[in-house]
Amino acid sequence: MPADPAVLVEGLQMRYGDTVAVAGMDLVVERGEIAAVLGPNGAGKTTTLETCEGYRRPQAGRVRVLGLDPVHQQRELLPRIGVMLQAGGAWSGVRAVEMLRHVAALHAHPLPVEDLVERLGLDECGRTPYRRLSGGQQQRLGLAMAVVGRPELVFVDEPTAGLDPAARRTTWALLEELRSDGVTVVLTTHYLDEAERLADRVHIIDHGRRIATGSPLELTRGGTHATIRLVVTEPFPPGAPESLRASLGPGTDVTAIDERSLVISGPADSTTLGTVSRWCEAQGVLPESLNLGQRTLEDVFLELTGRPLAAGADEAPSVTARPSASVVG
Ligand SMILES: Nc1ncnc2c1ncn2[C@@H]1O[C@H](COP(=O)(O)OP(=O)(O)OP(=O)(O)O)[C@@H](O)[C@H]1O
């Protein structure tokens, strides 16, 4: 019989008073993969993770972690998972390395503390009380505490928020090493490069729901689709996006960016490029540039939600963007 997935979330609903934090979340994380839960501020990432970690009881729906119920089988589950919280997690007066040794001592087969300290550059602040550590040092200590017990599964919430580029790379390398050792990693992030670089599978979430799932390549490739950016020398005549969309036919989407540029999302082939070029001639506009580019996760989020990821959950939808990507998985 195949093993249970590392994480299984079905129809999870969570609210805080009148605020709906999670609105029917479905999520599957297979064992041994790095899964990134990507979404804007307030999308419900932390609440979902905290429910998987057993800190919150599902108000509706079902959550299983390593096949166990995180609330009712917490004693069985806790020794097998590592948790890096967004902030805190250590006593304020305790020295960094003492804290890590303490956590290591709670586990049967911990990683060597000194190695982790050196790996994560914590040697320089090993005797510093937790409350005096910089934000980045607290982040790295939090990660060390999450992995020191050799967990089968680690949850890391925004592992590189506020870290400098060198510390981000160190963190990524450690997470990749965990995966090579067969550890499942579930991380939340709103850094697109982090999700693209690290994750085997990305779950894009918005307003408490998963809206797309796939490997970074599957999500950005969108089948044979690509993004073509057209910039012309003079403003387009009125109705240009509609007219170009009609020329290109079904399966293609055209979004006006400003009066001289638009984005075409459609098949990346010579027919599309030829049609765009002939359309420009017919409209009497001269292309300044015509760039064919791979979609980014940012483009995917924009297409799915009509607003940029960085704008946050409450931003009004953009008037020019129109959803066209399909939900995967
Ligand atoms: N303890 C709480 N009490 C009241 N509302 C909360 C609480 N925690 C979260 N919320 C609200 O629930 C929603 C989801 O929050 P959550 O922290 O799960 O999202 P998130 O995607 O992790 O956001 P971020 O990226 O900012 O951490 C937000 O509207 C948030 O303001």
Span 278-317, pLDDT tens digits: 999 999 999 999 887 767 788 788 778 877 776 543 333 2
Ligand 1 contact via 46 beta carbon (within 6 Å): yes
- Residue 70: exposure state from Cβ atoms within 10 A (0-12, 13-18, ≥19): buried
On the question of pLDDT at 158 being above 80, the answer is yes
In the chain, the percentage of residues whose pLDDT exceeds 70 is 90
Using DSSP's 3-state secondary structure scheme, residue 316 falls into coil
Supply the mean pLDDT for the chain: 85
Q: What is the CB neighbour count within 10 angstroms for residue 244?
A: 21
Q: Supply the pLDDT for residue 325.
A: 32
Q: Supply the pLDDT for residue 305.
A: 80
Ligand 1 contact via 183 beta carbon (within 6 Å): no
Mean pLDDT value across residues 82-102: 79
Q: Supply the pLDDT for residue 1.
A: 53
Residue among 25, 38, 47, 56 whose CB has most ligand 1 atoms within 8 A, to mutate: 47
- Where are the domain boundaries for CATH 3.40.50.300 in the chain? 7-219
Mean pLDDT value across residues 183-194: 91
Residue among 27, 46, 52, 155 whose CB has most ligand 1 atoms within 8 A, to mutate: 46
Domain spanning 7-219: which superfamily? P-loop containing nucleotide triphosphate hydrolases (3.40.50.300)
Q: Supply the pLDDT for residue 154.
A: 96
Ligand 1 contact via 16 beta carbon (within 6 Å): yes
Q: Supply the pLDDT for residue 124.
A: 79
Q: Supply the pLDDT for residue 225.
A: 63
Centre of ligand 1 to C-alpha 81, Å, is 23
State pLDDT tens for residues 4-18.
899 999 999 999 999
Would the CA dihedral through 264, 270, 275, 280 be positive or negative?
positive
Within 8 A by CB and 6+ apart from 246, the residues are none
Ligand 1 contact via 32 beta carbon (within 6 Å): no
Q: Supply the pLDDT for residue 302.
A: 77
Centre of ligand 1 to C-alpha 130, Å, is 25
State pLDDT tens for residues 26-74.
999 999 999 999 988 899 999 999 999 999 999 999 999 999 999 999 9
- Where are the domain boundaries for CATH 3.30.70.1560 in the chain? 223-294
Ligand 1 contact via 11 beta carbon (within 6 Å): no
Tell me, yes or no, if the pTM score tops 0.80. no
Closest CA to 309 of 294, 299, 319: 299
Question: What is the CA 273 to chain-centroid distance, rounded?
Answer: 32
Which numeric CATH code is attached to 223-294? Answer: 3.30.70.1560
> Bigger pLDDT: 212 or 3?
212
Centre of ligand 1 to C-alpha 16, Å, is 9
Mean pLDDT value across residues 82-91: 74
Q: Supply the pLDDT for residue 320.
A: 29
Closest CA to 196 of 218, 181, 180: 218
Closest CA to 121 of 155, 90, 144: 144
State pLDDT tens for residues 107-152.
888 999 999 998 888 887 777 877 888 888 888 889 999 999 999 9
Q: Supply the pLDDT for residue 212.
A: 93
